[in-house]
């Protein structure tokens, strides 16, 4: 065991005192580590076992925790499991005199950062803490860098979805909170808003991310085949069943099953799906045995399921079973500020797909994209950009390349769409000016300098008018 003289020469330099918790049932070990670590600049608390440590971490935040594996009342592994939601960003280092590779791996899988075998040298403890500190510093820098990049570009993402509007950021924030859990999620929104992309993002950001993601559109499977598709069948279950077949639940076992257009599921199949959700087991057609399944269900619908329940077209009990947490994706017309960034995103994707070199979208064409109501939502926008790239005669998409429905196809006079019932030219002029400024800001993604150039007015004048009309850039 190290002597007190060993503690006089600090190895780790800390910018500020960091709080550390030592958990060990041996009083001598606790005292030795406390003396060592306080001599190296840490604020140290100690606990005799996992239960005592749990009480401490409920009251204080610890940067590092040194925890013994074998202790009475609550051992180190039990402490790791019990404290998972309390530790937040604490770094846990396990210690044991009975260390094996299996023990170390089990500790790391349970959430520990590292494992030290007893007896250990002073340098080993301090250098392990130094490595942990460097890792934590790197993690903070990466988080800060990501936030700076998002702020610079004015965008965020979740899975394959991108956007910067307040509404879509709220969707991303909620999805990130829900993703790590196996909670059933109901995704609602109009057709083409990206419900499957959110489902795939939930799967990718979950502990099931390396397991299968199985997607099925409930409205495309013939009613007579639904049960066999979902639950599978055994050989001889019916005419033509000449071999065993896995169903969708077995294919998704351990992963995620995405049930798109769940509102199209017939009532009798809804009953069978409800039973699977309640019992976590399936019975293949023709089999007398049930098989347990571990599947996370994510459902999606463009229908109003609450209205479907009132009309008795959807089972109320299944609705509440699916709607543990709802993520609603707003239509594109309600988040028009996302259109420029989405258009740019799709332009890059289409260029890569078609081996084309269209570089930009002309401001008048982008303004038309922003003004268009997009009944087909993001899917329609992506298809429109692909058509425009094909139609473009050079390296720029112009208005003539955008044959949009409900749109004249020309850069029409904005005053034609102005709704004004009075006769005052002064009031009409203000309304038109307000609309043109809003259009320019949307077309430039909120860039005021570019919007001022597009409007052919000075930057200070634009700022004054934004304030005058209370326009949100």
Q: What CATH number does residue 83 fall under?
A: 3.40.50.2300
Q: Among 188, 186, 299, 287, which Cα is nearest to 233's?
A: 287
DSSP class of 285? B
pLDDT given for residue 423 in this prediction: 52
Percent of the chain with pLDDT strictly greater than 70: 86
| Confidence band, pLDDT 50/70/90 cuts, at residue 422 | low
Same domain, 189 and 234: yes
- Asked, for residue 425, whether it belongs to a domain, the answer is yes
In this structure, are residues 272 and 315 in contact, taking their beta carbons and an 8 Å threshold?
no
Same domain, 188 and 308: yes
What is the per-residue pLDDT across 194-222, written as a single tens digit (0 to 9) for each?
Answer: 999 999 999 999 999 989 999 999 988 88
What is the per-residue pLDDT across 231-245, written as a single tens digit (0 to 9) for each?
Answer: 988 888 887 778 888
The yes-or-no verdict on residue 12 having pLDDT over 60 is: no
Could you give the CA distance from residue 236 to residue 58 in angstroms, rounded to a whole number? 59
Q: How many domains does the chain have?
A: 3
Same domain, 80 and 184: no
What is the per-residue pLDDT across 55-66, written as a single tens digit (0 to 9) for each?
Answer: 898 888 888 999
Helix (H) or strand (E) run with residue 361 in it: strand 360-361
- Asked, for residue 354, whether it belongs to a domain, the answer is yes
Same domain, 228 and 95: no
What is the per-residue pLDDT across 428-450, written as a single tens digit (0 to 9) for each?
Answer: 667 777 778 887 787 776 778 87
pLDDT given for residue 140 in this prediction: 67
In this structure, are residues 171 and 198 in contact, taking their beta carbons and an 8 Å threshold?
yes
Q: What is the dihedral of CA 201, 203, 209, 215, to 10 degrees?
A: -110
For 156, 196, 199, the CA distances from 159, given in Å and listed in that order, are: 10, 10, 9
The yes-or-no verdict on residue 165 having pLDDT over 80 is: yes
Q: 419: domain range?
A: 336-469
Same domain, 359 and 321: no
């Amino acid at each position: 065991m190290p002597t007190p003289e060993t503690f006089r020469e600090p190895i780790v330099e800390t910018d500020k005192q960091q709080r550390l918790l030592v958990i060990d049932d041996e009083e001598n070990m606790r005292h030795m580590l406390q003396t060592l670590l306080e001599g190296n600049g840490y604020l140290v608390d100690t606990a005799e076992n996992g239960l005592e440590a749990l009480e401490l971490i409920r009251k204080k935040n610890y940067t590092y925790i040194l925890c013994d594996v074998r202790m009475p009342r609550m051992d180190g592994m039990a402490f790791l499991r019990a404290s998972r939601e309390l530790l937040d960003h604490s770094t846990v280092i396990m210690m044991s005199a009975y260390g094996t590779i299996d023990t170390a791996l089990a500790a790391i899988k349970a959430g520990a950062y590292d494992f030290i075998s007893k007896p250990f040298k002073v340098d080993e403890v301090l250098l392990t803490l130094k490595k942990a500190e460097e890792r934590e510093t790197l993690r903070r820098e990466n988080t800060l860098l990501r936030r700076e990049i998002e702020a610079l570009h004015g965008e965020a993402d979740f899975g394959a979805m991108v956007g910067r509007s307040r509404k879509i950021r709220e969707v991303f924030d909620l999805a990130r909170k829900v993703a790590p859990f196996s909670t059933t999620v109901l995704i609602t929104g109009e057709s083409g808003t990206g419900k499957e992309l959110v489902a795939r993002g939930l799967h990718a950001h979950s502990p099931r991310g390396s397991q299968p993601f199985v997607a099925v559109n409930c409205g495309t499977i013939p009613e007579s085949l639904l049960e066999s598709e979902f639950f599978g069948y055994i050989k001889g279950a019916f005419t033509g069943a000449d071999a065993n077949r896995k169903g969708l639940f077995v294919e998704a076992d351990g992963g995620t099953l995405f049930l798109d257009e769940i509102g199209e599921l017939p009532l009798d199949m809804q009953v069978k799906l409800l039973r699977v959700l309640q019992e976590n087991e399936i019975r293949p057609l023709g089999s007398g045995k049930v098989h347990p399944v571990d599947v996370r269900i994510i459902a999606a619908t463009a229908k109003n399921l609450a209205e479907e329940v009132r009309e008795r077209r959807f089972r109320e009990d299944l609705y509440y079973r699916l709607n543990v947490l709802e993520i609603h994706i707003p239509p594109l017309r309600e988040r028009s500020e996302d259109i420029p960034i989405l258009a740019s995103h799709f332009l890059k994707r289409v260029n890569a797909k078609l081996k084309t070199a269209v570089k930009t979208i002309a401001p008048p064409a982008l303004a038309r994209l922003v003004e268009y109501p997009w009944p087909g939502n993001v899917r329609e926008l992506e298809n429109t950009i692909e058509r425009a790239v094909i139609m473009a005669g050079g390296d720029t998409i112009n208005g003539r390349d955008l044959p949009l429905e409900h749109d004249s196809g020309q850069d029409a006079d904005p005053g034609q769409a102005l709704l004004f019932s009075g006769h005052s030219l002064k009031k009409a002029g203000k309304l038109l000016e307000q609309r043109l400024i809003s259009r320019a800001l949307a077309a430039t993604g909120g860039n005021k300098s570019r919007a001022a150039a597009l409007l052919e007015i000075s930057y200070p004048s634009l700022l004054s008018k934004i304030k005058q009309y209370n326009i949100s850039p």
